Structure 1
Amino acid sequence: MKMECLLAYYTKKFTKIDGNIFELFAQFYNLDLSPVDSWLETQFKNKVEKDDKLSTFYRQEGNKCYARKDLVKSLEFYTKSLCCATPHGKEYGLALANRSAVSFEMKEYENCLRDIELCFETNYPKDLRPKIYLRKAECYCEIGHEENLDRCIGEARKFLNMEKIPDKEKHIKKLNQIKKSTVKMKNIIDNYRDNSNDLPELADGENENFAYTSSKLQMSYDKTRGRHVIARKNIRKGDVLFVEKAFIFAPVFKDNKEFYSFKCYNCLKDIISSIPCRSCILCVYCNEKCRAHSWDEYHKWECKGMQANIWYDLGIAFPAFKAVLKGVKSGFKCIKGGPEEDLKRFGSKEDNYPYFNRLVSNIYKSKNAAPYIVMAAIVVNYLKNYTNFFTWFLQQKNCPKNESTDLITYVGGLITKHIAQLSCNSSIIEHWSYSSTDLLFPDILITIACGMFPSVSIMNHSCRPNVTNFFICDTLVVKALEDIPERDEVFNCYGIDYRGMSRHQRQVACRSLYHFECKCVICSDQSKEVEMLDSYICPKCKGLVPEIANVSCIFCVGCGEEYSLPPFRKVNKVAQKYLESDDGNQLEILIKCLKIREKILYKHHKDFEEVYYRLYSYYVEVGDAENMFKYFHLWLENEKARRGENSRGIGTKLYEAALAILHCLQSGHPKNCNLKSFLQNVEHMIREAKAVLNLYYPAYITNRLSRKIQFISNK
Structure 2
Amino acid sequence: MAESLGIDNQVHKLLAGYGGEKSSEILKNFHGKFSVVDMFSHFWGLEEAHSCLDPEVPPSRKSKSESEKLRGDGNKAFQKKNLSEALKLYSLSILAAPHPPLDSESEKTDSQTVENGDVADENDYEALPLAYANRSAVLFELKQYEDCLNDIERAFQYGYPESLQHKLVKRKEGCTTAMDSSESRPEGLAMYHAVNPPVLADSNPALPAMSSSVKVAFSPTAGRYLVAQKEILPGEILVVEEVHSRCLYQQYLQTHCNTCFTRCLVPLPCPSCKLVVFCSQGCRGKGLSGQHSLECPVLPALGSMNTCLIIPYRIITKLPFATVKDLLAHFRSEKDSKSPLALGFNEKGVYDSNSYRTVYCLVTNQEKRDSRSLFTICAGAFMLTKLLIRSQRYFVDDSLKPFEPSKEDAIAIGSALFHHIMSDLSNGHRYGELLTSGADGTPDIQNIGSWISPTLSLANHSCDQAVITCNKGNLGIMQAIQLIQPGQEVTTGYLRGYGTQNPSLRKEILTNNYLFSCTCRACTEGWPTFNQLPDNYQLKCSQCSHFINRSDNKCSSCGEDFSMDTLTNLSLKTIDQEVGLAVLKFLRMRKDFNMSTIIARQEDLRVTMKVIETMDRYVIMPNKIYANAKAFLAGLLRNQRDYLKIRSGF
TM superposition score normalised by structure 2: 0.71
Q: Say whether 1:655 aligns with 2:594.
A: yes
- 1:557-572 to 2 correspondences below 5 Å: none
RMSD after superposition: 4.0
Which residue is 1:673 aligned to?
none
CA shift digits 1:518-546 (9 cap, x unpaired): 111211211454364279x9xxxx9xxxx
Q: Report if the CA contact (8 A) 2:192-2:643 is conserved.
A: no
Q: Kindly tell me: are residues 528 and 230 of structure 1, through their superposed partners in 2, closer, same or farther at Cα, counting changes over 3 Å? A: farther
User: Percent of aligned positions with the same letter in both sequences?
Assistant: 22
Q: Say whether 1:110 aligns with 2:127.
A: no
Which residue is 1:269 aligned to?
262
Aligned partner of residue 463 in structure 2, secondary structure: coil
Distance 1:423 1:658 in 2: 35
Deviation of the 1:505 alpha carbon: 1.0
Q: Kindly tell me: are residues 252 and 343 of structure 1, through their superposed partners in 2, closer, same or farther at Cα, counting changes over 3 Å? A: closer
Which residue is 1:153 aligned to?
none
Aligned partner of residue 461 in structure 1, secondary structure: coil
Distance 2:79 2:440 in 1: 26
Q: Say whether 1:375 aligns with 2:380.
A: yes
Which residue is 1:564 aligned to?
none
Deviation of the 1:218 alpha carbon: 2.6
1:26 paired residue among 41, 66, 69: 41
Which residue is 1:231 aligned to?
228
Which residue is 1:284 aligned to?
277
Deviation of the 1:306 alpha carbon: 1.9
Aligned partner of residue 224 in structure 2, secondary structure: strand
Q: Report if the CA contact (8 A) 2:308-2:428 is conserved.
A: no
Q: Say whether 1:5 aligns with 2:5.
A: no
Q: Kindly tell me: are residues 130 and 402 of structure 1, through their superposed partners in 2, closer, same or farther at Cα, counting changes over 3 Å? A: closer
Q: Say whether 1:77 aligns with 2:82.
A: no
1:405 paired residue among 404, 407, 411: 407
Distance 1:233 1:488 in 2: 9
2:64 maps to a residue whose letter is D
Q: Say whether 1:360 aligns with 2:359.
A: no
Aligned partner of residue 483 in structure 2, secondary structure: coil
Distance 1:314 1:470 in 2: 20
Q: Kindly tell me: are residues 403 and 200 of structure 1, through their superposed partners in 2, closer, same or farther at Cα, counting changes over 3 Å? A: closer
Distance 2:83 2:454 in 1: 40
Q: Kindly tell me: are residues 395 and 52 of structure 1, through their superposed partners in 2, closer, same or farther at Cα, counting changes over 3 Å? A: closer
Deviation of the 1:402 alpha carbon: 12
Distance 1:219 1:200 in 2: 25
Q: Say whether 1:318 aligns with 2:313.
A: no
Deviation of the 1:225 alpha carbon: 2.5
**Gap regions ≥5 residues in structure 2:** 1-5, 17-22, 101-124, 539-582, 610-631, 646-650
Q: Report if the CA contact (8 A) 2:295-2:391 is conserved.
A: no
Which residue is 2:638 aligned to?
696
Q: Report if the CA contact (8 A) 2:205-2:350 is conserved.
A: no
The structure where helix makes up a greater share of residues is 1
Q: Report if the CA contact (8 A) 1:219-1:343 is conserved.
A: no
Higher RCO structure, 1 or 2 (CA under 8 Å, sep 6+): 2
Which residue is 2:352 aligned to?
348
Aligned partner of residue 430 in structure 1, secondary structure: strand
Q: Say whether 1:462 aligns with 2:454.
A: no
Which residue is 1:558 aligned to?
none
Deviation of the 1:418 alpha carbon: 0.8
2:290 paired residue among 297, 303, 320: 297
Distance 2:470 2:261 in 1: 14
Deviation of the 1:502 alpha carbon: 0.9
- 1:56-205 to 2 correspondences below 5 Å: 56-88=68-100, 89-144=125-180, 182-185=181-184, 196-205=193-202
Q: Kindly tell me: are residues 7 and 522 of structure 1, through their superposed partners in 2, closer, same or farther at Cα, counting changes over 3 Å? A: same
2:389 paired residue among 375, 384, 393: 384
Q: Kindly tell me: are residues 260 and 296 of structure 1, through their superposed partners in 2, closer, same or farther at Cα, counting changes over 3 Å? A: closer
Aligned partner of residue 213 in structure 1, secondary structure: strand
Aligned partner of residue 637 in structure 2, secondary structure: coil
Q: Which one has a bigger Cα radius of gyration?
A: 1
Deviation of the 1:3 alpha carbon: 5.0
Q: Kindly tell me: are residues 440 and 483 of structure 1, through their superposed partners in 2, closer, same or farther at Cα, counting changes over 3 Å? A: farther
Deviation of the 1:300 alpha carbon: 2.7
Deviation of the 1:85 alpha carbon: 0.3
Distance 1:29 1:461 in 2: 35
Distance 2:141 2:608 in 1: 34
Distance 1:373 1:358 in 2: 18
Q: Say whether 1:438 aligns with 2:425.
A: no
TM superposition score normalised by structure 1: 0.65
Deviation of the 1:188 alpha carbon: 11
Distance 2:265 2:136 in 1: 10
Deviation of the 1:87 alpha carbon: 1.1
Deviation of the 1:389 alpha carbon: 3.2
Distance 1:188 1:504 in 2: 49
Q: Kindly tell me: are residues 102 and 209 of structure 1, through their superposed partners in 2, closer, same or farther at Cα, counting changes over 3 Å? A: farther
Deviation of the 1:456 alpha carbon: 0.9
Q: Report if the CA contact (8 A) 1:242-1:478 is conserved.
A: yes
CA shift digits 1:305-325 (9 cap, x unpaired): 124x34414652222111111
Distance 1:289 1:683 in 2: 35
Q: Kindly tell me: are residues 284 and 304 of structure 1, through their superposed partners in 2, closer, same or farther at Cα, counting changes over 3 Å? A: same
Distance 1:129 1:75 in 2: 21
CA shift digits 1:41-80 (9 cap, x unpaired): 7x34x42310011112222233333344444333322221
Q: Report if the CA contact (8 A) 2:364-2:423 is conserved.
A: yes
Distance 1:207 1:220 in 2: 14
Aligned partner of residue 312 in structure 1, secondary structure: coil
Which residue is 1:419 aligned to?
421
Aligned residues: 524
Deviation of the 1:265 alpha carbon: 0.5
Which residue is 1:663 aligned to?
none
Deviation of the 1:658 alpha carbon: 10
Deviation of the 1:388 alpha carbon: 5.5
Aligned partner of residue 302 in structure 1, secondary structure: helix
Q: Report if the CA contact (8 A) 2:502-2:528 is conserved.
A: no
Q: Report if the CA contact (8 A) 1:464-1:522 is conserved.
A: yes
Distance 1:70 1:652 in 2: 40
2:423 maps to a residue whose letter is Q
Distance 1:685 1:375 in 2: 47
1:196 maps to a residue whose letter is H
Q: Kindly tell me: are residues 211 and 112 of structure 1, through their superposed partners in 2, closer, same or farther at Cα, counting changes over 3 Å? A: farther
2:637 maps to a residue whose letter is L
Q: Kindly tell me: are residues 247 and 216 of structure 1, through their superposed partners in 2, closer, same or farther at Cα, counting changes over 3 Å? A: same
Q: Report if the CA contact (8 A) 1:202-1:214 is conserved.
A: no
Distance 2:306 2:441 in 1: 38
Deviation of the 1:235 alpha carbon: 2.6
Q: Kindly tell me: are residues 524 and 689 of structure 1, through their superposed partners in 2, closer, same or farther at Cα, counting changes over 3 Å? A: closer
Distance 2:413 2:169 in 1: 53
Q: Report if the CA contact (8 A) 1:197-1:473 is conserved.
A: no
